[in-house]
Structure 1
Amino acid sequence: MIENRSYRWNGRLRRTAIVAVLAAAGVGAVSGTAQAAPKNDGVGYVAGAPGSGDAYFPYAGNGGYDVLNYDLALRYAPPADPGVLEGNLTGVATVTLRAKQDLKSLNFDLRGLNVTSVRVDGKAAKQGISQGGGGAEWSQTQDDANRIWELTIGLQPKLKAGQKTTIVIEYGGTTGRPLDTTGALYGWVTTADGTMVVNEPEGAATWYPVNDDPEDKATYTFRITVPEGKTAVANGLPSGRPATKAGWTTWTWKASDPMASYLSTASVGDFALSYDKGPRGLPIINAIDAGVTGAELAETKASLALQPKMIAFLEDQFGRYPFEAFGAIVDDDTVEYALETQTRPVYSGIAREYTVLHELGHQWFGNSVSPSDWRDIWLNEGWATYLEWLWAEHQGVATMPRQFSDAVDYLDAENRWALNIADPGRDNLFAGQVYLRGAAALYALRAKIGDKAFLAGARLWLTKHNDSTATTADFEAVMEKASGRQLDKFFDDWLREGDRPAMP
């Protein structure tokens, strides 16, 4: 994820921190570990935890199961009045999952939308958890103060570990412009002509029932029905042609590669689609909103034209592009914003060259290998920023030493080394240090262990954890294996300690 920055970080619009803490008595004090612990019913079945155990977002994600596929049938009416940014969304989510524990109940995250029906393996569930009657039952909790948005489904019959089930959830409501814990827009962001969908870190729950944990990757099908004339764009590849009936058009997209929920999108607008090819005929599909015009449109088109060259450049160093497609969604929303939504990054306002390279780099570092916990986000943003530096040098714009020096100058100012980027805190996920100290650490690591070991370690990281998640400790172990060197002190100095490390 990136917001309005050039290759030297000048002019970056960093997120404005707002104190928004899970602090209600008896709730905010619950630790991730304690929250994730299931309760046994005394006969071997447990209630799946209402949180994944992430230290920053204890109620995001859920325990006890692994989602295999989301099939999302969405119907969306954009705002009738462009001055009132509210739309209407209804959906049918068909979720196929496998139990990891013997479960008597399980949870999905769903924020601000009302469930109207639930079916478990084709059988209707009753609303109102449980007074001991037969059949499955469900209830919904919407606790904005504590950021707890849960759909709880009591299972009857209960679900054995390893057993699959399909749950169909109908839901809907009014959409607006939801905010994350720092006050930044995310999730299903209603726009005058549609919606811009950007979920990082835990905004997927604003538009579908989800296990909103990066560790639970799944495949997706999106069937998005919008007023005729609107275009809906999602991850992956289109499936068939859009079908129009009675003034509504359904666009179908399938994402066949496993994907973390924060990387999903289903953006709607006045988009024009264009097509290109990358290495080995890789499909590149770009969607540019009609509201992107003038100099912004010219720069956007020039930047997107470089995508095939950028992909080839990164493949030469880090191995084959990891997914079935690539491209872009360029919306005309006024907030300048970008996110590495898998296979099709979203840009608001304009797609700049180095931002496009940054979001492309995330397809390897962040999307193929995702963070196990949100505290590990430097592995996403540090790498993507470092890849920008490589591209700038490749293009003859600035050398790697010059860009490293610029980063150090930024970090030297106002004691920015004080932030531990291996655990920056919930509301510092997108602080400048996460990007620039992360990139500087990678530059210093390469100087310490040499080009050969560094590139071997990067490729080992990508192959070992492909389509999965990993931690900072996992990264350290990979680099120690590749280099044959003990690197504990190096990583402490460059990631965790509050003092300026010795320069390479």
Structure 2
Amino acid sequence: MRIRTRACLRGAAAGLATVLLAGTASAAPANPSNPGAPGVGDPYYPGDGNGGYDVTHYDIRLTYEPDTDRLSGTTTLLATPTTDLTSFNLDFALDVESVRVAHRPAEVTRAEDDPTEVVVTPRRPLREGTPVPVVVRYADTPSEVEVDGRTAWKRTETGALAVDQPHIAEWWFPSNDHPTDKATFDVSVAVPDDVSALSNGVLASRTPQRAGWTRWNWRSTQPQATYLAFLAVGDYDVRHATTPSGLPMTNAYDTGLAAADRAAAEASVERTPEVVEFLEESFGPYPFEALGGVVTNGLGFALENQTRSVYDAGFFRYGSNLSVVVHENAHQWFGDSVAVAGWDDIWLNEGFATYAEYLWSEHAGEGTAAELAQYVYDSIPADDPFWRVTPGDPGAEHQFHPAVYDRGALAAHALRTAVGDDVFFELLRTWLDERQGGHGSIEEFAALAERLSGERLDPVFDTWLFTPEKPGSGPNGAASRATAGVAEPESYREIAFTHRQLARH
């Protein structure tokens, strides 16, 4: 297994020494006049993404062999330089065979301090504002490639899963890997006839490739972050349907699921259109061209891949689980349509996706949002380490800590209590409408909340998002009370179980 490590700043600009990839020409110029930055400076992952260009579209055309885990093919990026460039970087961990820029072969090196940074030097400098095609040809065995000591690519009994957060793209396609650079996607994957290849958006076609092989062609027409692009190859029962609103829906179930798990999964995931209709009442129109879900073994979590969430079968091991379906579909608005400006803004994703579970509980008559919020607040003692994690800036090491989800949902409810229902839901719809297809930060969200409410809300955001201790008053404005004798809302049992057993993103 080849292990690729990166500096603690994940490819930050310290040192531009490079090593030549096998099979390429002479090294890049020692002092290029205007190289693109190797990262966008994310607070948690400064080396994520790349400076100097924007990607508008990815065309990913691959062949995958499940028996050997061999992945090969090309990715074409349609990129527009945002400044004149003599070189630029791609985020990618697999072996690169060649790169062509603007139709001409380019020199390819890797940054010595971060081998996942592919440095591309075109034959001619790129001009600001002039779109160029970048064609990357590659072949590798993703499960044998480790980055920072881990392999996000997951082999299964019948195929593989390219599903993870915050990083997965570098194990299967070269990219500008940060949520602030979204693009449209075409994903075309040829696999043996006895397995399926699932991805985002609409299945544009499924055609015979050659004897024993079928090519699956998926199209995503709305801007999408790179980590939300996914690939699931394996033996799936794939179902296509149309929702009452006319959207195509694709659901898929691993044929290896236990019968009881399969039944519970279907009883949950097949209700996705109903869940989306409910969420539209609070968040506004569904922002994408398709929906659905994939239920699989061996993932260990659920993830809100754009248009099609992927769920581990464990979520349904003890019966149907609408909470996780609500959570992941709420992310289609919070996280997918409106991405984080930086990974320190993760509360905007997880806090509101978790709060959507509370709203569904109220809708289903299983406990109001106020009851659930108060119960969570009362259930966790003030001296519990839970309260020391601040959802507004949890740090990369606690990015998916339960506090980001549960305290994050309490923060959402405390904001609702402070501004009232009318302003709160106007805030959510305005935020999602004005930033659809883009991204935003907690500071920008707070500014909008203050503008719409006409109130100074620093005390609410500071107390619930940035203070490493239990707030003195609960999310409903009341002081804490002992949980003894307090009835546990029915829906919270399902929510709490989900957090204990499996990770939700």
Confirm or deny that 1:377 pairs with 2:342. Answer: no
- 90-99 vs 154-163, which moves further: 154-163
Q: How does 1:91-170 map to 2 (within 5 A)?
A: 91-111=73-93, 113-125=94-106, 137-141=107-111, 148-170=115-137
- 400-409 vs 443-452, which moves further: 400-409
Instruction: For residue 140 of structure 1, report the CA deviation from its aligned partner.
Output: 2.7
Residues 176 and 30 of structure 1, relative CA distance in 2, 3 Å threshold: closer
Among 225, 233, 236, the alignment partner of 1:260 is 225
Conserved 8 A contact 1:228-1:247: yes
Aligned to 2:403: 433
Aligned to 1:348: 312
Aligned to 2:60: 72
Instruction: For residue 354 of structure 1, report the CA deviation from its aligned partner.
Output: 1.1
Normalising by structure 1, what TM-score?
Answer: 0.85
Q: Could you list the per-position Cα deviations for residues 444-479 of structure 1 after superposition, in whole angstroms to 9, with x for gaps in the alignment? A: 100110000001111111011110011110110111
Aligned to 1:404: 373
Residues 33 and 358 of structure 1, relative CA distance in 2, 3 Å threshold: farther
Instruction: Structure 1: state its 5+ residue gaps.
Output: 1-21, 81-86, 126-136
- 355-364 vs 277-286, which moves further: 277-286
Aligned to 1:89: 71
* Partner SS, residue 137 of structure 2: strand
Instruction: For residue 406 of structure 1, report the CA deviation from its aligned partner.
Output: 3.0
Conserved 8 A contact 2:9-2:47: no
* Partner SS, residue 341 of structure 1: coil
Conserved 8 A contact 2:362-2:368: yes
Residues 425 and 495 of structure 1, relative CA distance in 2, 3 Å threshold: same
* Partner SS, residue 123 of structure 2: strand
Conserved 8 A contact 2:326-2:356: yes
Query: C-alpha separation between the residues in 2 aligned to 1:99 and 1:392?
Result: 47
Q: How does 1:352-371 map to 2 (within 5 A)?
A: 352-371=321-340
Query: C-alpha separation between the residues in 2 aligned to 1:301 and 1:282?
Result: 19
CA RMSD of aligned residues (A): 2.4
Q: Could you list the per-position Cα deviations for residues 147-177 of structure 1 after superposition, in whole angstroms to 9, with x for gaps in the alignment? A: 6511111122111111110011101111217
Confirm or deny that 1:416 pairs with 2:386. Answer: yes
The one-letter amino acid paired with 2:103 is: G
The one-letter amino acid paired with 1:482 is: L
Q: Could you list the per-position Cα deviations for residues 63-83 of structure 1 after superposition, in whole angstroms to 9, with x for gaps in the alignment? A: 110001100011111135xxx
Residues 395 and 148 of structure 1, relative CA distance in 2, 3 Å threshold: farther
Residues 30 and 382 of structure 1, relative CA distance in 2, 3 Å threshold: closer
- 167-176 vs 447-456, which moves further: 167-176
Conserved 8 A contact 2:10-2:48: no
Conserved 8 A contact 1:278-1:311: no
Conserved 8 A contact 2:11-2:38: no
Query: C-alpha separation between the residues in 2 aligned to 1:475 and 1:52?
Result: 21
Instruction: For residue 142 of structure 1, report the CA deviation from its aligned partner.
Output: 7.3
Aligned to 1:467: 437
Query: C-alpha separation between the residues in 2 aligned to 1:295 and 1:123?
Result: 55
Query: C-alpha separation between the residues in 1 aligned to 2:385 and 2:231?
Result: 40
Instruction: For residue 110 of structure 1, report the CA deviation from its aligned partner.
Output: 0.7
Conserved 8 A contact 1:357-1:387: yes
Q: How does 1:208-357 map to 2 (within 5 A)?
A: 208-333=173-298, 335-350=299-314, 352-357=321-326
Q: Could you list the per-position Cα deviations for residues 212-254 of structure 1 after superposition, in whole angstroms to 9, with x for gaps in the alignment? A: 0100000000110111211001100011233241221110000
Query: C-alpha separation between the residues in 1 aligned to 2:456 and 2:139?
Result: 53
Among 46, 67, 82, the alignment partner of 1:58 is 46
* Partner SS, residue 79 of structure 2: strand
Conserved 8 A contact 1:54-1:374: yes
The one-letter amino acid paired with 2:341 is: S
Instruction: For residue 279 of structure 1, report the CA deviation from its aligned partner.
Output: 4.3
The one-letter amino acid paired with 2:46 is: P
Conserved 8 A contact 1:299-1:350: no
- 416-425 vs 66-75, which moves further: 416-425
Q: How does 1:479-494 map to 2 (within 5 A)?
A: 479-494=449-464
Instruction: For residue 190 of structure 1, report the CA deviation from its aligned partner.
Output: 1.7
Among 155, 159, 164, the alignment partner of 1:199 is 164
Q: Could you list the per-position Cα deviations for residues 174-229 of structure 1 after superposition, in whole angstroms to 9, with x for gaps in the alignment? A: 12177776x8763x322121111213102211111111010000000011011121
Instruction: For residue 35 of structure 1, report the CA deviation from its aligned partner.
Output: 9.4
Residues 66 and 295 of structure 1, relative CA distance in 2, 3 Å threshold: same
Query: C-alpha separation between the residues in 1 aligned to 2:230 and 2:157?
Result: 18
Conserved 8 A contact 1:370-1:470: yes
Residues 43 and 91 of structure 1, relative CA distance in 2, 3 Å threshold: closer
Instruction: Structure 2: state its 5+ residue gaps.
Output: 17-28, 316-320, 478-505
Aligned to 2:358: 389
Q: Could you list the per-position Cα deviations for residues 28-56 of structure 1 after superposition, in whole angstroms to 9, with x for gaps in the alignment? A: 379969899xxxx9999510011121121
Query: C-alpha separation between the residues in 2 aligned to 1:360 and 1:162?
Result: 36
Query: C-alpha separation between the residues in 1 aligned to 2:15 and 2:257?
Result: 45
Instruction: For residue 91 of structure 1, report the CA deviation from its aligned partner.
Output: 2.1
Query: C-alpha separation between the residues in 2 aligned to 1:180 and 1:483?
Result: 45
Instruction: For residue 415 of structure 1, report the CA deviation from its aligned partner.
Output: 3.6
Q: Could you list the per-position Cα deviations for residues 366-421 of structure 1 after superposition, in whole angstroms to 9, with x for gaps in the alignment? A: 10001010011111000000001111121122222221123212374514222122
Conserved 8 A contact 1:35-1:58: no
* Number of aligned residue pairs: 452
The one-letter amino acid paired with 1:447 is: T
Residues 459 and 61 of structure 1, relative CA distance in 2, 3 Å threshold: same
Conserved 8 A contact 2:184-2:223: yes
Q: How does 1:173-192 map to 2 (within 5 A)?
A: 173-176=140-143, 186=152, 188-192=153-157
Conserved 8 A contact 2:296-2:313: yes
Confirm or deny that 1:28 pairs with 2:8. Answer: yes
Query: C-alpha separation between the residues in 2 aligned to 1:225 and 1:142?
Result: 34
Query: C-alpha separation between the residues in 2 aligned to 1:478 and 1:180?
Result: 38
Residues 184 and 149 of structure 1, relative CA distance in 2, 3 Å threshold: closer
